[in-house]
Amino acid sequence: MTTAVHRPATLEDVARVAGVSRSTASRVIAGTGFASPAAREQVTAAVDQLGYVPNPAARALVRGGGVRLVVAVLGTSAAVLDDPYVHQVVGSAARVCTPAGVGVALHWLPFGDPRGLDQLDGDRSVCGVILVNTTEELLAAVPLSLRGRVVSIGVGSATVPSFDVDNAGGAEAVLRHLYASGRRRIAMVTGPRWLPCAQRPVRTYRHLMSLAGLPERVLPGDFTAARGRVAAGEALRRWPDLDAIYAISDDTALGVIAGLRDAGARVPGMSRWPASTTSRLPG
Amino acid sequence: MTTAVHRPATLEDVARVAGVSRSTASRVIAGTGFASPAAREQVTAAVDQLGYVPNPAARALVRGGGVRLVVAVLGTSAAVLDDPYVHQVVGSAARVCTPAGVGVALHWLPFGDPRGLDQLDGDRSVCGVILVNTTEELLAAVPLSLRGRVVSIGVGSATVPSFDVDNAGGAEAVLRHLYASGRRRIAMVTGPRWLPCAQRPVRTYRHLMSLAGLPERVLPGDFTAARGRVAAGEALRRWPDLDAIYAISDDTALGVIAGLRDAGARVPGMSRWPASTTSRLPG
DNA sequence: CTGTTAGCGCCTTCAC
DNA sequence: GTGAAGGCGCTAACAG
């Protein structure tokens, strides 16, 4: 029955209501240190009577921990931050961090400018960093004081642990599928040249094509739909007999599909259709 | 040339190096209050000599502001937090909040349980809330002390401002496109029944179908791919002459495509093909 | 214009 | 077992 303006409860309030000191309240709430069953009882009662929620900011301040996990994405422009893949990383991170009172931030690391990371390690509110689109150069630019708080998706190093999805396996599955459905003239739109972990699917592609005695047709991409669209046109021009395009990243694949439609090709199938049949939105 | 362990610089350090007091340093850094050009100069020099970054947690603590923006998603299960749409909201929010030192958190609001919001308003570290999948009930459950810090995507109220995309317009564009490409037996897989803003495209669909003298074929969906897949099968069973399915949400659309392929239908086109031609992954 | 003085909410030694 | 005291890094009044 709070009558006044509902000011969020503080530890002080809890302690007062529970009839104990702040220290005791803190101990039972943080679950650290000793407390008599009686005190414990009082405090927990007070907590949910007041709807008390510890303030992560204050907690982080005194503990020296941070309140933000940074997803740092290397790219040639800030547009990388709009990539669905990045969004998925951020979303998953947010979900995991929320119960711990940790928020997620999104940083663009300009390609070729290692100072971005220096800024992060001067920030006491950062408790961890996830590197996306990691290169060897980026790994080398990780400040010492950030070690132990950084992980990488893709390539890692002795001081930066890494994890990744099975790029090669995925590529193999897709290509075997295309082969099984009869495709024999398969082009590939790659990821950026400078990204190490994007080379794995390319190697797999080259390997499988050579195994099957099929021609290698590689077009450089950059994970964007725009590039996929253009690449599709190039592919059709260079290799008119194409019967499949393997594009890395969902965005690129959608761009490729758009590009194929632009050119009047049918997807799936890649056989041309009469231009007049091409659907278009009403003006 | 720091030799010792690189402890992140504090305002105190900056003030000492600049030869001024903490207050002065604070003023020029926060850009608030007066400061002589000379002092300003000293301080900024010290700042980037030390690589100083203000601590958002400490700042939030004293200012009474928060350090986290919460994206709160209403849904029947925690799985809603994995939705690509939610990820996009979180990603965009993170991008915007990062420069302000604000992190993003992701909360699931169990459908029919309004207490989730109460917890948020007891949390001093929360500076704002974005409601996703908002219903009237949810709007009514927004605590008074949260007013002014909450916005909604979709429906809003007198105290909760809202914004939204043009659902109806999007639906109309898609349906006109299908019509223009010759489709006349178009089914629709909807969003959840309980979500107000998901009803708009349904109304548009019904309206346009009746305008064109076409049959209404509506199947309930829930934004998931799984439901889309099942719905596609149902649609084919109930209306074997179908020549298009309009699905709301990308996930649902992908599920529908998968369901159509399960049933041996061709996409795009929706004409059946010989089952033997159906591609499948190699074991 | 600048420095001094109080805290923000919480945790963590310390005595008791 | 418990309380009192100090401080995390920063800003917002105040005096000078």
Q: Output the CA torsion sign for B217, B220, B222, B225.
A: negative
Residue A12: alpha-carbon gap to chain centroid? 40
Q: Measured in angstroms, what separates residue A21's CA from nucleotide D11's C1'?
A: 28
Best mutation target, A125, A145, A257, to test chain B (most B CBs within 10 A) = A125
Cα–Cα distance between A46 and A52 in angstroms, integer? 8
pLDDT of residue A107: 96
CB atoms within 10 A of CB B62: 9
pLDDT digits (tens, 9 = 90+) for A57-95: 999 999 988 999 999 999 999 999 999 999 999 999 999
Cα–Cα distance between B90 and A69 in angstroms, integer? 14
Share of chain A above pLDDT 90, in %: 77
pLDDT of residue B282: 26
Bigger pLDDT: B217 vs A165: B217
If you measure CA to C1', which residue is closest to nucleotide C13?
A: A23
Share of chain B above pLDDT 70, in %: 92
Q: Is the C-beta atom of B145 closer than 7 angstroms to strand C?
A: no
Cα–Cα distance between B228 and B222 in angstroms, integer? 8
Bigger pLDDT: B217 vs B166: B217
Confidence band, pLDDT 50/70/90 cuts, at residue A3? very low
Average pLDDT, chain B: 89
Contacts 24+ apart (CB under 8 A), B191-196: B191/B221, B191/B222, B191/B223, B191/B248, B191/B249, B192/B133, B192/B220, B192/B221, B192/B222, B192/B223, B193/B220, B194/B111, B194/B135, B195/B133, B195/B135, B195/B154, B196/B134, B196/B135, B196/B136, B196/B154, B196/B155
Give Cβ neighbours of residue A107 (< 8 Å, ≥ 6 apart). Answer: A70, A71, A72, A73, A116, A120, B98
Cα–Cα distance between A217 and A246 in angstroms, integer? 10
Of A91, A103, A124, which has the smallest distance from its Cβ to B67's Cβ? Answer: A103
Smallest CA–CA distance from B87 into chain A, residue: A91
Q: Is the C-beta atom of B122 closer than 7 angstroms to strand C?
A: no
Bigger pLDDT: B21 vs B267: B21
Q: For the residues A10-20, what does the mean pLDDT come to?
A: 93
Q: For the residues A249-265, what does the mean pLDDT come to?
A: 91
Q: For the residues A220-233, what does the mean pLDDT come to?
A: 96
Least confident among A2-11, B113-122, B200-209: A2-11
| A-to-B residue pairs, Cβ atoms closer than 8 angstroms | 187
Q: Output the CA torsion sign for B198, B199, B202, B203.
A: negative
Write out residues whose CB is closer than 7 A to strand D. Answer: A 20-24, 27, 33-36, 38-39, 58, 61-62, 64, 124; B 10-12, 22-23, 26, 29-30, 32, 52, 54-55, 58-59, 61-63
Confidence band, pLDDT 50/70/90 cuts, at residue A115? confident
- CA separation (Å) from A52 to A47, A208, B117? 5, 60, 13
Bigger pLDDT: B273 vs B275: B273
Range list of H helices, chain B: 11-18, 22-30, 37-50, 56-63, 84-97, 115-121, 136-140, 167-180, 199-212, 225-238, 250-262
Least confident among A32-41, A141-150, A262-271, B37-46: A262-271
- Which domains, from first to last, does chain A contain? 11-54 (1.10.260.40), 68-163 (3.40.50.2300), 167-262 (3.40.50.2300)
Does B5 sit within 8 Å of A57, measured CB to CB?
no
Give Cβ neighbours of residue B228 (< 8 Å, ≥ 6 apart). Answer: B189, B221, B247, B251, B252, B253, B254, B255, B256, B258, B259
Of A144, A267, A282, which has the smallest distance from its Cβ to B180's Cβ? Answer: A282
Does A82 sit within 8 Å of B177, measured CB to CB?
no
pLDDT of residue B264: 85
Q: Output the CA torsion sign for A111, A114, A115, A121.
A: positive
pLDDT of residue B277: 26
pLDDT digits (tens, 9 = 90+) for B23-54: 999 999 998 878 889 989 999 999 999 999 99
Residue A147: alpha-carbon gap to chain centroid? 20
Nucleotide nearest B27, from its CA to each C1': D11
Q: Measured in angstroms, what separates residue A51's CA from nucleotide C6's C1'?
A: 28
Cα–Cα distance between A55 and B124 in angstroms, integer? 6
Confidence band, pLDDT 50/70/90 cuts, at residue B242? very high
pLDDT digits (tens, 9 = 90+) for B46-104: 999 999 999 999 999 999 889 999 999 999 999 999 999 999 999 999 999 999 999 99
Confidence band, pLDDT 50/70/90 cuts, at residue B274? very low
Q: For the residues B134-151, what does the mean pLDDT come to?
A: 93
Pairing mode of beta strands A186-189, A217-219: parallel
**Whole-model pTM?**
0.90
Does B9 sit within 8 Å of A279, measured CB to CB?
no
pLDDT of residue B145: 87
CB < 8 Å to B101, chain A: 68, 125
Least confident among A24-38, A210-224, B84-98, B235-249: A24-38
Q: For the residues B162-167, what does the mean pLDDT come to?
A: 91
Least confident among A137-141, A266-270, B7-11: A266-270
